[in-house]
Amino acid sequence: MSKTQADRDGLITFRAGGTLLCLTAQVSERVQLLYAGPDLPSASAADFERLSTREHAPGGPQNPIANSLLNAIGTGYPSPPGLLAHRTGQDWVGDPCLVEAKQSETSLTLMTHDAACNISAEHTFDIDPGSGVLRCACRITNQADSPLALEWCAALCVPINPSLTNITSFAGKWAGEFQTEQTTLVRGSFVQENRSGRTGHASYPGLYLGESNTTENSGQAVARHLGWSGNTRLRVDHLATGELSAQAGELLLPGEMTLQRGESYATPPLYLTWSDQGYGPLTRSLHRYVRGQLCPVAPRPVHYNSWEAVYFDHSPARLMELANRAAEVGAERFVLDDGWFGARRNDTAGLGDWTVCDNVYPDGLEFLSEHLQSLGLEFGLWFEPEMVNPDSDLYRAHPDWVLQAPGVEQIASRHQLPLDLTRDDVCEHLFERIVSLTKQLNIAYIKWDMNRDIQHPGGEAGHAVMHQQILALYGLIERIKAAVPGLVVESCASGGARADYGILTHTDRVWTSDNNDARAHHAIMRGTAHFLPLDVLGNHVGPQKCHITRRQFDMEFRAGAAIFGHMGMEMDLTQESAQDRAILSDAIALHKRHRTLIHTGDYHRLSTHKHICGIGVVASDRRDAVFQLAVLDPHPTMHPPRINFAGLDPDQRYEIQSIWPQALDKSFGTFAGSALMQYGLQLPITNPDTYLIYHLKAAT
Ligand code: DGJ
């Protein structure tokens, strides 16, 4: 990395992968982020420096105050500060100024120092050339002898184009993840806080912002996401000056972060991507980033998961039978869910006792491992390593191993308590148990679950250790993966409550939701796909009568939903009719035929009538595409509407085939891409609760 141009003219122009950052960078001065957004190839930092000049406004400071990397209190900038720290009430007015800037083709590091408080802040910016996604983070170091109490540090204070006042946020609940909500920002603040001790169902640490008229393919937009699996705060402030300023960072608990001399705190990374062609490109850039940098795409085996078939009612014979049926319909991996260990006959006991239950499995689980191998299935095993039931051998032996606040009653939740991963003995124990079982049983895949919020994350000394807990979790997963080469890990937390880029830096897919109701699932998938690509999203065919919503659906509908994702199934296959198993098997075969495309292609949300929900996946060369249309309610008109495809090459002719449900299998002939996108294809008359799937192939 070389010293930057800043040395010469006090400005930095940093562009890569279609993204442009322009900053002021005068040594001993504050650093101003002048522009962050889609690349404007003829523009440079000098343009923005001059364009950002403002005159004195009556009632305001004599010299208008510019934004800076942390909008620290000492600067007087009118947004909430991005840095809050003090030394028992002293040294609270910071103003970090540039010491040094270093830049390479795809990364930039800015070292700043706050002389009054003796704190240094190092900002790193990395632009992924493949996707244009910017990853930035800040490291605060205490340079003084007295301890520094850090209360808040945003990864970066980002100036946002002031016309982007339309916020799309993602809120949810168990079995109802990633519901998209629209808010128009007025003067004031939009703040989302998560104090659940995990990424959580309630508010996802990611937002899209657009103009009032931004659509899927037009208008300015930006997406932000904080890669952190613990407590978070995201805010967007619409200031009296007319500016928009955004922050995201870890929500620190009281007294959680005290830095002694020389100690540092690193914020979680903030991910940003911009678009001047609507929301669609944001999604595709984030998908490219996740595939390229976090969860490289490998062939994703079709799952069978035992949970809804047996819950805690295990027996060797049941598992053998389910494995046979799963293999028959085309499963490639069998995941044995909760209930195989200790005294875990229901959710009140045994959690934490990671030894195979010898009442249920007197000969261990080797029989299953061997049977799966003979069927050509990979063996996946469920763990919930971070938790313990008080009614367990582990807790009886080590009651001090749980997170707790002295003198405060634990909050009851699913009869379990969180273990303190900041203790070496706890991590050592978990590492030994998981690695030895994994090796012994030839486990290729771990479903890593986490089923409660952590409200009182007190460590051994009684202090809040939420930050350290998350780092310890990441470290433990990495250690296990290093000890078991090739191990694939799924992140599950009561469904999709841990689906952020922090956990995905260490795991390979997420369990999207416990709700496998095919009618509800399309909305959960659509919401989640704003940040995660389909290959990372577990999408399972459920039982005929959904266990969560009690609604009933035929197999065509259930299976049609799951084809677009990392496909799996989770039901008692012995209760499905032979006819339904045949349909399921056809759906799995169809998924396998188009799996590479679904798992690597560009994702498009279609604009449709309200009663239909449509998405598509288009190959990067635009010669191959599949589209899925969920018809959810009766068509309000005599004839259904036409559907406008997206992402195609307008000049290419495509052969279209309807490939699901099978009864509607038919070829329509070839059409111009432009006609398919602008005029659209007439939908057939179907009942509601039908998934229609079309395959489009370049004809020449
Ligand atoms: C919650 C998960 O979301 C389910 O899939 C299942 O693994 C249960 N936990 C098991 O306790």
Nearest to 269 by CA among 318, 213, 299, 229: 229
Dist CA 525 CA 574 (whole Å): 28
Dist CA 33 CA 272 (whole Å): 14
User: For the residues 269-292, what does the mean pLDDT come to?
Assistant: 98
Catalytic (active site) residue 449: yes
Q: Which atom of ligand 1 is nearest to the CA of 511?
A: 3
Nearest to 516 by CA among 540, 494, 532, 538: 540
Residue 1 is predicted with a pLDDT of 52
Q: Which atom of ligand 1 is nearest to the CA of 337?
A: 7
User: For the residues 9-15, what does the mean pLDDT come to?
Assistant: 94
> Does residue 8 register a pLDDT over 90?
no
65 neighbors 76 (Cβ within 8 angstroms):
yes
Q: Name the residue at shortest CA distance from atom 1 of ligand 1.
A: 494
CA atoms within 13 A on the CB side of 282: 30
Residue 6 is predicted with a pLDDT of 57
Q: Which of 126, 237, 449, 602 is catalytic?
A: 449
Name the strand (E) or helix (H) holding 123.
strand 119-127
Model confidence over 417-447: pLDDT tens digits?
A: 999 999 999 999 999 999 999 999 999 999 9
Q: Which of 448, 511, 547, 571 to mutate to test the pocket of ligand 1 (most atoms within 8 A of CB)?
A: 511
> Does residue 7 register a pLDDT over 80?
no
Dist CA 573 CA 320 (whole Å): 12
> Does residue 5 register a pLDDT over 80?
no
Residue 494 Cβ contacting ligand 1 at under 6 Å: yes
For 644, the 3-state DSSP assignment is: coil
Q: Which atom of ligand 1 is nearest to the CA of 495?
A: 3
DSSP β-ladder status, 176-184 and 148-153 = unpaired
357 neighbors 343 (Cβ within 8 angstroms):
yes
Model confidence over 540-596: pLDDT tens digits?
A: 999 999 999 999 999 999 999 999 999 999 999 999 999 999 999 999 999 999 999
Dist CA 634 CA 626 (whole Å): 24
Q: Which of 449, 510, 521 to mutate to test the pocket of ligand 1 (most atoms within 8 A of CB)?
A: 449
Q: Ligand 1 centre and the CA of 441: distance in Å?
A: 21
Nearest to 692 by CA among 666, 661, 667: 661
The count of residues in the chain is: 700
Residue 426 is predicted with a pLDDT of 98
> Torsion angle, CA of 12/15/16/20, rounded to 10 degrees?
120
- According to DSSP, residue 409 is labeled P
For 52, the 3-state DSSP assignment is: coil
Residue 307 Cβ contacting ligand 1 at under 6 Å: yes
Which two structure tokens, joined as six digits, stand for 6? 């800043």
- According to DSSP, residue 293 is labeled I
Q: Name the residue at shortest CA distance from atom 10 of ligand 1.
A: 338
Q: Ligand 1 centre and the CA of 198: distance in Å?
A: 16
Name the strand (E) or helix (H) holding 525.
helix 518-528
Residue 96 Cβ contacting ligand 1 at under 6 Å: no
Model confidence over 179-215: pLDDT tens digits?
A: 999 999 999 999 999 999 999 999 999 999 999 999 9
Q: Name the residue at shortest CA distance from atom 2 of ligand 1.
A: 494
Residue 332 Cβ contacting ligand 1 at under 6 Å: no
Amino acid at 363: D
Can you tell me which residue has the tokens 């046979």? 324
Amino acid at 232: T
Q: Ligand 1 centre and the CA of 546: distance in Å?
A: 15
Q: Give the pLDDT band (50/70/90) at residue 4.
A: low
Nearest to 246 by CA among 219, 274, 265: 274
Residue 556 Cβ contacting ligand 1 at under 6 Å: no
User: For the residues 375-383, what does the mean pLDDT come to?
Assistant: 98
Residue 512 Cβ contacting ligand 1 at under 6 Å: no
Which two structure tokens, joined as six digits, stand for 599? 């798992």
Dist CA 510 CA 188 (whole Å): 35
- Residue 672's contacts (CB-CB under 8 Å, 6 or more residues apart) are 650, 651, 652, 653, 654
Residue 392 Cβ contacting ligand 1 at under 6 Å: no
Q: Which of 308, 310, 337 to mutate to test the pocket of ligand 1 (most atoms within 8 A of CB)?
A: 337
Q: Ligand 1 centre and the CA of 393: distance in Å?
A: 22
Residue 540 is predicted with a pLDDT of 98
Which two structure tokens, joined as six digits, stand for 594? 């188009």
Which two structure tokens, joined as six digits, stand for 645? 């495809």
Residue 126 Cβ contacting ligand 1 at under 6 Å: no
Model confidence over 22-51: pLDDT tens digits?
A: 999 999 999 999 999 999 999 999 999 999
Q: Ligand 1 centre and the CA of 295: distance in Å?
A: 22
Residue 37 is predicted with a pLDDT of 98
Q: What is the DSSP string of 425-464?
A: HHHHHHHHHHHHHHHHTT--EEEE---S--S--B-TTSSB
Q: Which of 177, 305, 336, 338 to mutate to test the pocket of ligand 1 (most atoms within 8 A of CB)?
A: 338
Q: End-to-end CA distance of the chain, in Å?
A: 47
396 neighbors 369 (Cβ within 8 angstroms):
no
Q: Which atom of ligand 1 is nearest to the CA of 493?
A: 3
Q: Ligand 1 centre and the CA of 443: distance in Å?
A: 18
Residue 510 is predicted with a pLDDT of 98
Residue 298 is predicted with a pLDDT of 87
Residue 514 Cβ contacting ligand 1 at under 6 Å: yes
pLDDT, mean over the chain = 97
Q: Ligand 1 centre and the CA of 547: distance in Å?
A: 13
Can you tell me which residue has the tokens 């296959």? 573
Q: Give the pLDDT band (50/70/90) at residue 290.
A: very high
Residue 306 Cβ contacting ligand 1 at under 6 Å: no
Residue 515 Cβ contacting ligand 1 at under 6 Å: no
628 neighbors 605 (Cβ within 8 angstroms):
no
Dist CA 272 CA 128 (whole Å): 11
Residue 448 Cβ contacting ligand 1 at under 6 Å: no
Residue 490 Cβ contacting ligand 1 at under 6 Å: no
Q: Ligand 1 centre and the CA of 492: distance in Å?
A: 8
- Residue 386's contacts (CB-CB under 8 Å, 6 or more residues apart) are 418, 419, 421, 450, 473
Residue 516 Cβ contacting ligand 1 at under 6 Å: no
Cα→Cα distances 195→80, 252, 644, Å: 20, 9, 42
Q: Which of 237, 338, 420, 514 is catalytic?
A: 514
Q: Ligand 1 centre and the CA of 449: distance in Å?
A: 7
Q: Name the residue at shortest CA distance from atom 9 of ligand 1.
A: 494
Model confidence over 312-351: pLDDT tens digits?
A: 999 999 999 999 999 999 999 999 999 999 999 999 999 9
Q: Which of 201, 448, 490, 514 to mutate to test the pocket of ligand 1 (most atoms within 8 A of CB)?
A: 514
